[in-house]
Amino acid sequence: MCVCVSYSEVKSEIQQQLKRKALIPILGSGFTKGCASRNGTVPSGADYKEYMIDQIMKIRGYDDSKRLDYEKKQFPDISTIYHEIVPKNNQRNYLRNNFTKVELPLEKKKFLNINWPYIYTLNIDDAIENSSSFKKVILPNQEFNDEIFLDEKCVIKLHGDIGDIVTYKKSGKIFTSKEYALSLDKNAPLLNKLRNDYKTQNILFIGCSLDDEIDLK
């Protein structure tokens, strides 16, 4: 059951949770959607899906009569097809142009200046580390030392990091159906941390549609 409340009703509680460092944000694509990047703008999850469908249809020579079939598919399924048939260099160019050198507006920089214990993000772009003190990137599919969250200002990238993706041929990104499935095992350290925070902390979702987010489910 979803209950709508005004900010004035929860303002005091939110302030108390911030003071206790018991409020953890999870930032989704809505947080950086439309922000200027190296050579474009950051897409939303829906925008990225539409772009991948366009590329798939172009390569396969389909007309618009096939579009609805693809639009009915989930993001990981479209991503699986896209990553199988679109040239790797084209994939990297799109990612580099739209997810690197991201510039945030002032109000979003102010949000990041709040003294959060750490930040989770479903995004791969570099906006958070470029625009705040949260510069230590925690990657998926790797074990980490718990002390790092006490020693550094960390941003936890559940689906991967653009710097890692454009640098290494085998990065820890989580886009395709196979990568999602493997992440449930390989990404266990981060998912266990996320599960523990669900149980013991207060989670603040910002810009998350929560569609097809297997790890959050």
User: pLDDT per residue over 58-93, tens digit each?
Assistant: 999 999 889 999 999 988 899 999 999 999 999 999
Residues 123 and 157 sit within 8 Å (Cβ to Cβ): yes
DSSP single-letter state for residue 48: H
Band the pLDDT of 208: cuts 50, 70, 90.
confident
Model confidence at 1: pLDDT above 80: no
DSSP single-letter state for residue 172: -
Q: How far apart are the C-alpha atoms of 163 and 12, rounded to whole Å?
A: 38
Residues 207 and 46 sit within 8 Å (Cβ to Cβ): no
**Which pLDDT belongs to residue 217?**
60
More confident residue, 178 or 91: 91
Band the pLDDT of 5: cuts 50, 70, 90.
confident
Going 29 to 211 to 139 to 48, the CA torsion angle's sign is negative
In the chain, at which residue ranges do the beta strands (DSSP E only) sit?
23-27, 36-37, 40-41, 119-121, 136-138, 154-157, 202-206
Q: Measuring CA to CA, which residue among 68, 124, 135, 66 is closest to residue 91?
A: 124
**Which pLDDT belongs to residue 211?**
60
Q: What is the average pLDDT value for the chain, to the nearest integer? A: 90
